[in-house]
Amino acid sequence: MNKRVRIIIMEPDDLLRDSISLYIQDLFSETISIVTQVNSLCQLRMAMTQFDFDVVLTDLYGEQETLYHWCDFYEQYKIHWPDKPILAWTDVPEYYMSYVNSHINMPYNFNKSIPLDELNQILQLVACGKSALLKRPQFFRPVSRRNFLTRRELQVINCLFRGEVLGRIAKRMGRSIKTVSGHKRNAMRKLGVESDGMLLSLNKKYSPLMIPEELGNEDGDYDDAAYP
């Protein structure tokens, strides 16, 4: 009898965690064994040191965690478990995931809303010990580098997420309100949002959008004349 693939699951939502566990147990009971289930990256890191495992299925962040926690976790993972595949699944916007993937070389990842037949294909590869065949572009379209947020745009958006108004942001950056408004409009277009309400609700729901400004694309600053 072939050895079952041992998997650790990290999912902060109790109902979704139970659902994916039951799904795996029902369809892959002979090929996949669930070692343990946790609800945060902190617990996941502890589980990875305590249990023998072959694969990790994890959300990008648990309760009170953001992309910063994921970056720290992923750096530790690459040092200590480089040969253990990680399947990252998430419900954050596709554009944002593609943007992050392009900068920090995420592991194999897919959206939680994918059809069941695609999820089955992924789990089949895991069950057969062929996780390495998964490729990121299979689930997320690449983003053109010209559509990356610039450092100025990231700075403005992050300030807005912290509750600052345009006047204060302009003073902080040493630029006019007109220039700051231009950065804001460009960032919103790239993020695919059409109003301030959509932008703020996006950050409220997906706290990892507070991303390090050093990940921004190199850019020269805009002139006030660019925004009549």
The residue from 91, 113, 138 where one domain ends is 138
Q: Provide the CATH number for the domain around residue 44.
A: 3.40.50.2300
More confident of the two residues 67 and 180:
180
Q: What is the mean pLDDT of residues 30-42?
A: 93
pLDDT tens-digit series, residues 68-116: 788 788 888 889 998 888 888 877 666 566 556 655 666 677 778 777 7
Q: Is the pLDDT of residue 151 over 90?
A: no
pTM confidence score: 0.67
Phi, psi at 16, each rounded to 5°? -70, -35
pLDDT digits (tens, 9 = 90+) for 166-225: 999 999 889 999 999 999 998 888 777 888 888 877 776 555 444 544 444 445 444 333
Name which residue leads in pLDDT, 139 or 60: 60
Domain end among 138, 165, 189 = 138
Which CATH number goes with the domain that contains 163? 1.10.10.10
Whether residue 157 is found in the same domain as residue 197: yes
Domain of 219 in residue numbering reads as 146-226
- The domain total for the chain is 2
Here the tokens at position 162 are 């912290």
Reported as a pLDDT band with limits 50, 70 and 90, residue 150 is confident
* Interval 56-60 mean pLDDT: 89
Query: Are 87 and 176 found together in one domain?
Result: no
Asked which of 138, 159, 194 is the last residue of a domain, the reply is: 138
Q: Which residue stretches of the chain are H helix?
A: 14-28, 41-50, 67-80, 94-104, 116-127, 151-161, 166-173, 177-191, 196-205
